[in-house]
């Protein structure tokens, strides 16, 4: 087989043994790589209904089809497990050198089973696997862990995916990090921590063989050239942080726990401000000619020297959403998350829930006692120091940080149970995953895309904000077209997440980002890599299958129509300022949109998948288990 080794490596942490599974080419044609293949590997290896933090929940990694080739932005992998935050599929993407090393080691994917008794660093050294004592790495941050492993092994080419103290401590919103990039959302770090897996390291020394190197090189050169032009200038100049002012103008910038969509100090937390006052340099994932990551530093004050990469989602969550207008505190907050290994989005949204709960008088100063502030502190919106302290308390599960470490859904449910309150009304999550940086009250197509999302409140998996913001759809109203639009954008995004290719390249194929503009070129790339004969329809089906296996996973874990919901606030509390003021998504509107969406997908009214549909997609074994 070209482009693949045909081999999946299984690693059992309990028994400390490994085995190799060979998959037929037909299997690869169905699941390709990235989040689709990783989810399929979870489907095949999980004990259905298991506790996400038990040894029965496997960790699956799947390389991208283009990892280790010249194809720009193709150096990515998918990571999947049952999520401890949502109870459903947790599928994430990360990129850079780690995945290239894995590909060069000769593995298309890994499945990690069981749980270790002692903290372990699993080292995949081409075909050999070592279970190395990780006790000396405990307490180290994510970046420091990678460095320490290189030093231990005496090889600066070894690449590692690691967890930080948050994952070690069992923080449910913990991430996995490699090469400064995060496999974020859904709590992978907690799953790794539950298995005492501190790090997975890889040394790969082999090449990657493709079917038609000349064509692949020529196509890659063409795309790379296009990527240096206007189609990516937004990402290259200011990165996604440029969205702050755009979202603020539209009244969609989550402010003070999504109470408003306009932040009075948006200029001070904008991409433009970051560029002028804090940017040190831009960096790129491996295999990427775009380079969107804005490395930013604090040059003075209490947090002087703090430095990390900043993008829109972590910026909105830890800036306007906390009412903070001091970029120095925001950089410190995000650095705390990145080094501690906790999800910066979930971190910001969980802290904003705590701040609102304090401002409403349910929490008091007493609730915020910690070693640093033995008398407690007052976490009002805008208080950067309080937010930094809370991020550290979450990482360490100290004081109220224990409650917050499990995210907004858990924190609000526990609080309401213990105090007889109704804080769930401002717990901004979907299926337990904290919401992204676009307020859906005035993005009606996006609202259904988010509600039905298989991994919870995630903008990346639905992408339905795009037609709403661009005016392709009327963002303030609902109509009978929206189910189809939400299904279409979600499947479009799933193609990129499966190959995986970074979506920022999407206009560089022909200048047009739609299917007609991108799919023919993507088919050529796949064919030059594998020797297959994919066409437009085959590329389109990649996204349909990817989404279907994720949905099937959720159905087997007990998903019902009621799980496709929105936060209470988006149904009941309209914003009062800006161009999106006055809108909510009524419960009737959401149920109507869900009907339309399930119909567009070819599912039943209850959102289940007919057997014939699964068989049509080549997923007969899945049909046997969950088809209706
Ligand atoms: S554009 Fe940004 S996120 Fe995408 S591959 Fe390049 S550096 Fe990574």
Give the tokens for residue 112: 């990690």
User: Closest Cα partner for 185 from 378, 455, 397?
Assistant: 455
Q: What is the DSSP letter of 435?
A: P
Q: Is the CB of 282 under 6 A from ligand 1?
A: no
| pLDDT for residue 569 | 98
Q: Are 173 and 69 in contact (CB under 8 A)?
A: no
Cα-to-centroid distance, 291 and ligand 1 (Å): 6
What are phi and psi for residue 148, nearest 5 degrees? -65, -40
Secondary structure (DSSP) of 73-94: T--EEEEEEE-TTTSSEEEEEE
The 10s digit of each residue's pLDDT in 226-243 is 999 999 988 888 899 999
Residues 6+ apart with CB under 8 A from 329: 303, 384, 385, 387, 388
DSSP three-state, residue 509: coil
Q: Among the atoms of ligand 1, which is closest to the Cα of residue 291?
A: 7
| pLDDT for residue 389 | 98
| pLDDT for residue 592 | 98
CA dihedral over 208, 211, 214, 215, signed as positive or negative:
negative
Q: Is the CB of 291 under 6 A from ligand 1?
A: yes
Q: For a pocket test of ligand 1, which of 93, 293, 499, 505 has the largest count of ligand atoms closer than 8 A to its C-beta?
A: 293
Q: Is the CB of 290 under 6 A from ligand 1?
A: yes
The 10s digit of each residue's pLDDT in 562-588 is 999 999 999 999 999 999 999 999 999
| pLDDT for residue 234 | 85
Tokens 């775009």 belong to residue? 290
Cα-to-centroid distance, 266 and ligand 1 (Å): 25
What distance, in Å, lies between the first and last C-alpha atoms of the chain? 35
Q: Is the CB of 502 under 6 A from ligand 1?
A: yes
Cα-to-centroid distance, 73 and ligand 1 (Å): 7
Cα-to-centroid distance, 501 and ligand 1 (Å): 9
> Distances in Å between the alpha carbon of 231 and those of 283, 503, 518?
18, 12, 13
User: Closest Cα partner for 390 from 413, 415, 375, 373?
Assistant: 373
Residue-wise burial string across 563-597, b where 16 or more C-beta atoms lie within 10 A, e elsewhere: bbbbbebbbeeebeebebeebbbeeebbebbbbbb
Q: Is the CB of 393 under 6 A from ligand 1?
A: no
> Is residue 390 predicted with pLDDT exceeding 90?
yes
The 10s digit of each residue's pLDDT in 536-561 is 999 999 999 999 999 999 999 999 99
> Is residue 471 predicted with pLDDT exceeding 90?
yes
Give me Rg for the CA atoms of the chain: 23
**CA atoms of 347 and 388, how far apart (whole Å):** 10
Q: Is the CB of 93 under 6 A from ligand 1?
A: no
User: Closest Cα partner for 538 from 550, 522, 514, 551?
Assistant: 522
Q: Which helix (H) or strand (E) holds 507?
A: none
| pLDDT for residue 378 | 98
Q: Are 292 and 236 in contact (CB under 8 A)?
A: yes
The 10s digit of each residue's pLDDT in 177-186 is 999 999 999 9
User: What does the pLDDT average to over 461-471?
Assistant: 94
Cα-to-centroid distance, 287 and ligand 1 (Å): 9
Which residue's alpha carbon is nearest to atom 4 within ligand 1? Answer: 502
Q: Is the CB of 235 under 6 A from ligand 1?
A: yes
| pLDDT for residue 96 | 85
The 10s digit of each residue's pLDDT in 341-385 is 999 999 999 999 999 999 999 999 999 999 999 999 999 999 999
User: Closest Cα partner for 318 from 302, 303, 336?
Assistant: 336
**CA atoms of 37 and 77, how far apart (whole Å):** 10
Percent share of the chain, pLDDT over 70: 100
The 10s digit of each residue's pLDDT in 139-184 is 999 999 999 999 999 999 999 999 999 999 999 999 999 999 999 9
What are phi and psi for residue 174, nearest 5 degrees? -80, 150
Q: What domains can be seen in the chain, in order of their start residue?
A: 7-203 (3.60.9.10), 234-433 (1.10.569.10), 440-566+586-626 (1.10.599.10)
**CA atoms of 390 and 429, how far apart (whole Å):** 19
| pLDDT for residue 448 | 98
User: What does the pLDDT average to over 242-269?
Assistant: 98
| pLDDT for residue 551 | 98
Q: Is the CB of 288 under 6 A from ligand 1?
A: yes
Cα-to-centroid distance, 566 and ligand 1 (Å): 30
Tell me what the pLDDT averaged over the chain comes to: 97
């Amino acid at each position: 087989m070209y482009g693949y080794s045909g081999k999946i490596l299984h690693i059992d942490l309990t028994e400390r043994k490994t085995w190799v599974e060979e998959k037929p080419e037909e299997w690869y044609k169905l699941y390709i790589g990235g989040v689709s293949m990783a989810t399929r590997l979870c489907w095949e290896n999980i004990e259905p209904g298991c506790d996400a933090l038990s040894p029965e929940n496997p960790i699956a990694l799947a390389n991208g089809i283009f990892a280790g080739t010249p194809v720009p932005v193709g150096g990515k992998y998918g990571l999947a497990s049952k999520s401890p935050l949502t109870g459903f599929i947790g599928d994430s993407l990360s990129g850079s050198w780690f995945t290239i090393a894995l590909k060069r080691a000769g593995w298309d994917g890994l499945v990690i089973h069981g749980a270790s008794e002692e903290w372990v660093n699993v080292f995949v050294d081409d075909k050999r696997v070592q279970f190395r004592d990780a006790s000396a790495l405990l307490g180290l941050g994510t970046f420091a862990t990678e460095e320490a492993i290189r030093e231990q092994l005496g090889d600066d080419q070894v690449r590692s995916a690691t967890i930080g103290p948050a994952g070690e401590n069992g923080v449910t919103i913990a991430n996995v990090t490699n090469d400064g990039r995060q496999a974020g959302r859904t709590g992978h770090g907690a799953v790794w921590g539950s298995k005492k897996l501190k790090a997975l390291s890889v040394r790969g020394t082999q090449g990657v063989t493709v079917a038609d190197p000349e064509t692949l090189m020529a196509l890659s050169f063409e795309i790379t050239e296009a990527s240096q032009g206007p189609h990516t200038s937004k990402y290259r100049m200011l990165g996604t942080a440029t969205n702050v002012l755009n979202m603020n103008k539209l009244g969609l910038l989550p402010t003070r726990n999504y109470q408003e969509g306009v932040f009075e100090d948006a200029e001070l937390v904008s991409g433009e401000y970051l560029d002028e006052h804090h940017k040190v340099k831009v960096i790129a994932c491996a295999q990427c000619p775009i380079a969107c990551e804005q490395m930013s530093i604090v040059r003075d004050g209490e947090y002087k020297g703090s430095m990390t990469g900043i993008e829109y989602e972590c910026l909105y969550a830890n800036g306007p959403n906390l009412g903070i207008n001091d970029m120095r505190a925001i950089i410190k907050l995000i650095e705390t998350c990145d080094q501690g290994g906790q999800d910066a989005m979930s971190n910001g949204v969980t802290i904003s829930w705590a701040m609102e709960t304090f401002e409403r008088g349910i929490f008091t100063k007493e609730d915020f006692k910690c070693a640093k502030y033995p008398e407690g502190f007052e976490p009002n919106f805008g208080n950067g120091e309080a937010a930094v302290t809370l991020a550290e308390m979450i990482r360490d599960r100290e004081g109220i940080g224990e409650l917050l470490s499990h995210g907004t859904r858990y924190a609000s449910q526990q609080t309401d149970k213990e105090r007889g309150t109704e804080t769930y009304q401002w717990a901004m999550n979907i299926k337990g995953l904290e919401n992204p940086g676009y307020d859906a009250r005035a993005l009606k197509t996006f609202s259904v895309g988010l509600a039905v999302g298989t991994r919870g409140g995630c903008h990346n998996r639905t992408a339905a904000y795009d037609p709403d913001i661009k005016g392709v759809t009327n963002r303030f109203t609902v109509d009978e077209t929206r189910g189809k639009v939400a299904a279409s954008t979600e499947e479009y995004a799933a193609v990129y997440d499966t190959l995986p290719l970074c979506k920022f390249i999407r206009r560089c194929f022909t200048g047009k980002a739609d299917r007609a503009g991108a799919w023919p070129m993507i088919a050529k790339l796949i064919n030059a890599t594998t020797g297959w004969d994919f066409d437009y329809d085959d590329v389109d089906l990649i996204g349909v299958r990817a989404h279907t296996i994720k949905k099937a996973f959720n159905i087997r874990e007990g998903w019902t129509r009621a799980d496709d919901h929105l936060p209470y606030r988006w149904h009941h509390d309209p914003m009062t300022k800006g161009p999106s003021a006055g809108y909510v998504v009524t419960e009737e509107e959401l149920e109507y949109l869900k009907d339309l969406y399930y119909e567009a997908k070819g599912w039943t009214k209850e959102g289940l998948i007919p057997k014939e549909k699964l068989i049509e997609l080549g997923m007969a074994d899945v049909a046997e288990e969950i088809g209706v």
